[in-house]
Structure 1
């Protein structure tokens, strides 16, 4: 028998679906915040800013980008993990989202504390050597290290970085032993490589100025297919005569855990429209990025595999 009290208890449950639907239809009613856990001008930051401009036009609502760098991206990521799950805070991040917890203890879990929203683009890295280097191809590098293990040093942007993992992956798949030379950032690593202080290096956009100046020679891109980063450079598998090498750093969007599915869907759909636009494709071409949209459901289905992939790559850097 339904009493007045039991009816009152049922009302929130009965009303919830309608309330959520109405909330999603009204959303957004105030500015949306994109948190970028790295400094301005990084690939992740540039994507966030491009999407923010397009989303503002699409929705007629302000979208602000807030850079919260520090601890390899962990500080800004934690800000989003602790934010209200109301659709007004979105994290734009990259491979460090999955690698940081294996490098240092983080106050968040990259899988359990976030709701996937979309994958928007990716960037390969390039393997480079100095313009005056005796190494003309990746196979030259492999041959040298097989003749004399650890005779070739490779520069990276630091321990645990994507550039570090790129070299470690080549060591593992190529059956070679290059010596890792970590630097404070990619720009410094490129200067040292161009000057011959180290023999080769792996980097993203940080390599482009010295490549264009003719001071670095490109040996390969780290993706399995040609990349916008350096369209004429061969993929590593072809350049090295190996199989199974593929390393790119995606740009993802995540929301705090518990963000309503309706809001995740609305964000994901809007991002899909933006990534498909000619404006976004032109932006990616200008920034040497590879556009590639995955909606929330596809990213969610791929989370476990993605987390395991980056865990394995971190383990390679410690071998």
Structure 2
């Protein structure tokens, strides 16, 4: 081939490549349009089968009590059954993590507890709490408290802490797992009070309650699944960890007013897998928001001494992003960050 032929040859190749690019772009555009139409049709028909709501705690605990009722009301709103599936473990992160490989079609959603924003700072995980999930709606937050058995020698929270000061590492308490709010609350208390406590982790608050009642741990830090045991006289509530005393147990002081400098409510909401159709997210958000206003939902929150913590999808994600950054600092302060 001579020099005079090369420019023409290169020109033809460029034209062929350009043509292939246009054809590819047209094909991708057609595929994209087709996918968008299919997605739109799926949203229009959503839901047309049962929805699975993952509760990452054992059955019978406070979160299970709350979300079972919310799921029931949500099912009524959507005209489909909402199946509650308990998947406890890993401090409440095991259940939501199973959604990473789930289809983002709105038929699998989960509670998104605070541990999801903390555990990645404590160990290497196969998922990212911000990248791998769709934030649907913020719902409520816990009332955390510290209880002992009714026959415990500890009559006040100060007495429990003084016992820990006298016997370093010998005074124990149970929580719902490493990295959960009930655990981190007590880690902060121990640092502020300059005492060493023995932490005993459990899968969830149902088995934790039974361990305390059975005398297997001295005390427990937990959400208000202990309410019925306190009201029945089987447990003694020594302190709560909110900004102010609860309406239900107004005689019980907060840890903050006792001078321990700890306040926590640990908000949570509902999330789905990454990549959900915005139209389906909007349907779920609106239906859950309506369910939250149902008198039955308000009643169960009152029983658990929890308050509504509503956040729309955008605000819920923004809150998660900020909390993820802030909790990194907390985990490092408590000496729990991965090496």
TM-score, reference length from structure 1? 0.80
Q: State whether residues 138 and 311 of structure 2, in contact with CA within 8 Å, keep that contact through their aligned partners in structure 1.
A: yes
Quick one: distance in 2 between partners of 1:177 and 1:68? 34
Whether 1:293 and 2:313 are equivalent positions in the alignment is: no
The corresponding residue for 1:177 is 195
Alpha carbons of structure 1 residues 228 and 57: separation in structure 2 relative to 1, 3 Å: farther
- Among candidates 265, 286, 289, match of residue 272 of structure 1: 289
Whether 1:191 and 2:213 are equivalent positions in the alignment is: yes
SS at match of 1:223: coil
The corresponding residue for 2:275 is 258
Whether 1:59 and 2:78 are equivalent positions in the alignment is: yes
- Decide which moves more: 131-140 or 181-190: 131-140
Quick one: distance in 2 between partners of 1:305 and 1:293? 17
Whether 1:156 and 2:174 are equivalent positions in the alignment is: yes
RMSD, aligned α-carbons:
3.4
Q: How does 1:25-104 map to 2 (within 5 A)?
A: 25-104=44-123
Alpha carbons of structure 1 residues 206 and 192: separation in structure 2 relative to 1, 3 Å: farther
The corresponding residue for 2:129 is 110
Quick one: distance in 2 between partners of 1:134 and 1:301? 45
Quick one: distance in 1 between partners of 2:51 and 2:220? 38
The corresponding residue for 1:249 is 266
Q: CA deviation at 1:160?
A: 3.3
Q: State whether residues 230 and 288 of structure 1, in contact with CA within 8 Å, keep that contact through their aligned partners in structure 2.
A: no
Alpha carbons of structure 1 residues 8 and 311: separation in structure 2 relative to 1, 3 Å: closer
What per-residue deviation string (whole Å, max 9, x for no partner) do you get for residues 212-253 of structure 1?
343433222112233467455333212x1354x222233321
Quick one: distance in 1 between partners of 2:151 and 2:26? 81
SS at match of 2:281: helix
Q: CA deviation at 1:169?
A: 1.5
- Decide which moves more: 35-44 or 118-127: 35-44
Structure 1 unaligned residues grouped into runs of 5+: none
- Higher Cα Rg, which structure: 2
Quick one: distance in 2 between partners of 1:48 and 1:71? 19
Structure 2 unaligned residues grouped into runs of 5+: 1-18
SS at match of 1:155: strand
Q: CA deviation at 1:295?
A: 1.6
Quick one: distance in 1 between partners of 2:35 and 2:326? 38
Quick one: distance in 1 between partners of 2:171 and 2:321? 33
Q: State whether residues 222 and 236 of structure 1, in contact with CA within 8 Å, keep that contact through their aligned partners in structure 2.
A: yes
Q: CA deviation at 1:297?
A: 1.2
Alpha carbons of structure 1 residues 105 and 263: separation in structure 2 relative to 1, 3 Å: same
Quick one: distance in 1 between partners of 2:301 and 2:256? 24
Q: State whether residues 98 and 307 of structure 1, in contact with CA within 8 Å, keep that contact through their aligned partners in structure 2.
A: yes
Q: State whether residues 147 and 237 of structure 2, in contact with CA within 8 Å, keep that contact through their aligned partners in structure 1.
A: yes
